[in-house]
């Protein structure tokens, strides 16, 4: 039952994120006078469609995405209300509106979480794994980690962010041990054993933090900003020789969602909301990558057409985006295959 609810939650979350993303494109296109032929949730085959104001609103069978189909989206200038006939700055705004909406949604979700109470795990060590870097460095149960390489850390997410910056390095870890401050040099392992972190410690002691509206806004912007700044590390993982690099596809995300739903009675809905915010921020930033078929790829074409003072050949641009979409779908299939193997073998995503 939990698996079913988790998968349902995954599709609901994905639908909301895609709807918000496409609403950004749709709204700005309408404001700029670009005719939208279809606003679809999911990918064809089409299940149901409604036509309003010259736009077909469709519900499609494959619930893994969505789209806004504009007239002249490959640079065609046949009609005055086509995307290709509008100035480069207007096309840029239309394209960037979708990713921006996803990032703003992530900020809004975290604002709500911080305002109504954010469960956060304190950096108090409850267990040190024998033979781990932490054990070799002399860390002990009961220690509270207060700084990593001189940067103060208050909660587990702060600690994780700082440790991730020093993977493969020996870092200075300052801990509070009863009334004393102790500094230990700990190796941040790049490939720790399963179910162990880089240091080889377990943390405990959850606390619920409440913030004022101004504090919540600042915390939300800071968290999303950290997420956005660390997303490019994905590509370092992709280029690494480690095949278990944490990059997951739809199936892996569905599994994470299922695990989060199963933990909700203990952790509350804020964990699931935080996952939703993380996915939204990822969707926004990854869509800005300069790859064909993504918003970032289309922005590159708009920039090139602005420099050339004329659009590229629409057929050539359309073919490039089609190839890019095929490559993306193949990439998703390969990652999904890896996700299935990890799921069946009990590995971590």
CB 126 within 8 A of CB 202: yes
- Secondary structure of 72-127 in the HEC alphabet? CCCCCCCCCCCHHHCCHHHHHHHHHHHHHHHHHHHHHHHHHHHHHCEEEEEEEEEE
User: How big is the chain, counted in residues?
Assistant: 349
Six token digits for residue 38: 């279809």
C-alpha distances out from residue 301 to 74, 89, 288, 326, Å: 9, 12, 13, 18
CA distances 227 to 126, 221, 279, Å, are 27, 10, 10
Nearest-angstrom CA–CA distance, 134 and 185: 9
Cβ 246 vs Cβ 167: under 8 Å: no
d(CA 127, CA 335): 34
Exposed, middle or buried by CB within 10 Å (0-12, 13-18, 19+), for 213?
exposed
DSSP 67: E
Catalytic residues: 22
Tell me how many degrees the CA angle 341-260-59 measures, rounded to the nearest 5: 80
At 133, list the tokens: 């870097």
């Amino acid at each position: 039952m939990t698996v079913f609810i988790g998968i349902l939650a995954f599709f609901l979350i994905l639908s909301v994120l895609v709807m918000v993303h496409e609403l950004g494109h749709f709204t700005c296109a309408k404001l700029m006078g670009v005719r939208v032929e279809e606003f679809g949730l999911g990918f064809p085959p089409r299940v149901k469609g409604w036509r309003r104001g010259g736009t077909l609103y469709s519900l499609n069978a494959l619930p893994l995405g969505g789209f806004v189909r504009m007239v002249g989206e490959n640079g065609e200038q046949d009609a005055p209300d086509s995307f290709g006939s509008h100035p480069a700055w207007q096309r840029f705004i239309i394209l960037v509106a979708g990713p921006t909406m996803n990032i703003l949604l992530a900020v809004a979700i975290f604002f709500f979480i911080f305002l109504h109470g954010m469960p956060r795990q304190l950096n108090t060590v409850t267990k040190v794994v024998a033979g781990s870097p932490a054990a070799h460095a002399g860390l002990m149960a009961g220690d509270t980690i207060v700084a990593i390489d001189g940067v103060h850390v208050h909660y587990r997410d702060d600690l994780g962010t700082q440790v991730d910056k020093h993977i493969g390095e020996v870092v200075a870890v300052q801990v509070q041990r009863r009334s004393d401050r102790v500094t230990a040099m700990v190796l941040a392992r790049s490939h720790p054993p399963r179910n162990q972190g880089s240091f080889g410690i377990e943390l405990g002691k959850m606390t619920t933090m409440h913030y004022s509206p101004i504090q919540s806004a600042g915390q939300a912007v800071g968290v999303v900003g950290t997420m956005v700044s660390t997303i490019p590390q994905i590509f370092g993982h992709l280029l690494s020789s480690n095949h278990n690099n944490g990059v997951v596809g739809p199936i892996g995300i569905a599994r994470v969602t299922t695990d989060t739903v199963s933990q909700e009675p203990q952790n509350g809905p804020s964990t699931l909301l935080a996952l939703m915010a993380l996915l939204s921020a990822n969707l926004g930033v990854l869509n800005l990558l300069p790859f064909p078929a993504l918003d970032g790829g289309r922005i590159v074409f708009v920039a090139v057409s602005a420099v050339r003072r004329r659009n590229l050949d629409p057929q050539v641009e359309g073919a490039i985006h089609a190839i890019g979409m095929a490559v993306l779908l193949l990439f998703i299939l390969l990652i999904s295959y890896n996700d299935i193997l990890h799921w069946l073998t009990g590995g971590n995503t």
